[in-house]
Amino acid sequence: MVDHKQNKSRHKPLFRIFNDINERYDLINRLFTWGMDKNWRDRLVTEMLKSRPQKVLDVGCGTGDLTIRIAQSAQENITVSGYDFSRPMLDIAERKARKCIARERISFIHGDAAGMPFRDATFDCIGISFALRNLLFENPSAHQYLCEIFRVLKPGGKFLSVDSSQPQNKIIRWLDHLYLCTYVYTIGMVISGDRCAYKYLTRSAMNFDSPEQLEKRFLAAGFHKFFYQPLFFGAAAIYGATK
């Protein structure tokens, strides 16, 4: 694992959450989404590999599921870097990657997404699964993160993310929010033992940007051709844009 010096803009409450819940993170994720998170990541991988990228970055890679999935699904000449500021999450990712057939194509780097150790225009494609909300929601460095992703992406390259979303239909949105603040909050708190973490995570999911707000943010960072593809009645979505 490569270590990049930490950037001072690190969002402190978030940093603590992911350092604390790492060993139970995958289990909690499966329970929250009834296993659908795997399928949603696969949908993202399909989108990412459409342009046959050779150098790919997974920002906020956590326990490495997206990084590994990309490396396993792609053609042989791909390299995939997983980047995260939580060392315990990266330790789990490395453990998983060692067992995977595509391990030669994978590397993990430790550091904050606000200042990444890559040259301008390094990657053909950049993906994020379930970490965009962490980078943007009530985060003072939100714009800086998007600009940094834009900087390390090649011109014409795609930035794609899968994350929770706000269902457009009012009744479905009400049910989604009820689900978040009862089931998700309770299960998360019981399994992780961290009330604060799950209060933050449910609040951020319930109040995350609409596609229109996200589009504005993406365009302000320099991207164009924003797109939005709802998944599971809009409870999740794939968001994307081009440099």
Ligand X SMILES: C[S@@+](CC[C@H](N)C(=O)[O-])C[C@H]1O[C@@H](n2cnc3c(N)ncnc32)[C@H](O)[C@@H]1O
Between 28 and 169, CB nearer to ligand X = 28
Contact between 85 and ligand X per CB under 6 A: yes
Of the listed pieces 84-92, 173-181, 189-197, 225-233, which binds ligand X according to CB under 6 A? Answer: 84-92
Contact between 236 and ligand X per CB under 6 A: no
Tell me which of 28, 32, 65, 241 binds ligand X, using CB under 6 A.
Answer: 65
Q: What is the DSSP string of 187-205?
A: HHHHHH--HHHHHHHHHHH
Tell me which of 21, 131, 149, 237 binds ligand X, using CB under 6 A.
Answer: 131
Tell me which of 130, 137, 150, 159 binds ligand X, using CB under 6 A.
Answer: 130
Q: Closest approach of Cβ 188 to ligand X, in Å?
A: 11
Helix, strand or coil for residue 168? coil
Tell me which of 21, 44, 60, 166 binds ligand X, using CB under 6 A.
Answer: 60
Contact between 56 and ligand X per CB under 6 A: no
Contact between 18 and ligand X per CB under 6 A: yes
Helix, strand or coil for residue 52? coil
Tell me which of 86, 165, 192, 202 binds ligand X, using CB under 6 A.
Answer: 86
Q: What's the sign of the alpha-carbon dihedral 58, 63, 65, 71?
A: positive
The closest of 103, 104, 25, 30 to 60, measured between CA atoms, is 25
Of the listed pieces 59-67, 149-157, 167-175, 204-212, which binds ligand X according to CB under 6 A? Answer: 59-67
Q: What is the DSSP string of 64-131?
A: SHHHHHHHHHS-TT-EEEEEES-HHHHHHHHHHHHTSTTGGGEEEEES-TTS-SS-TT-EEEEEEES-
Contact between 61 and ligand X per CB under 6 A: yes
Tell me which of 45, 57, 92, 135 binds ligand X, using CB under 6 A.
Answer: 135
Between 56 and 114, CB nearer to ligand X = 114
List CB contacts of 12: < 8 A, sequence separation 6 or more: none
Between 85 and 226, CB nearer to ligand X = 85
Tally of CB atoms within 10 A around 198 = 25
Tokens of 114: 């606000």
Give the side-chain half-sphere CA count within 13 A for 230.
13
Tally of CB atoms within 10 A around 63 = 25
Between 3 and 212, CB nearer to ligand X = 3
Between 74 and 116, CB nearer to ligand X = 116
Q: What's the sign of the alpha-carbon dihedral 226, 230, 235, 237?
A: negative
The torsion of the CA quartet 50, 117, 89, 145, rounded to 10 degrees, works out to -70
Of the listed pieces 54-62, 71-79, 96-104, 207-215, which binds ligand X according to CB under 6 A? Answer: 54-62
Contacts with ligand X by CB under 6 A lie at 11, 14, 18, 29, 60-62, 65-66, 84-86, 89, 112-114, 129-131, 134-135
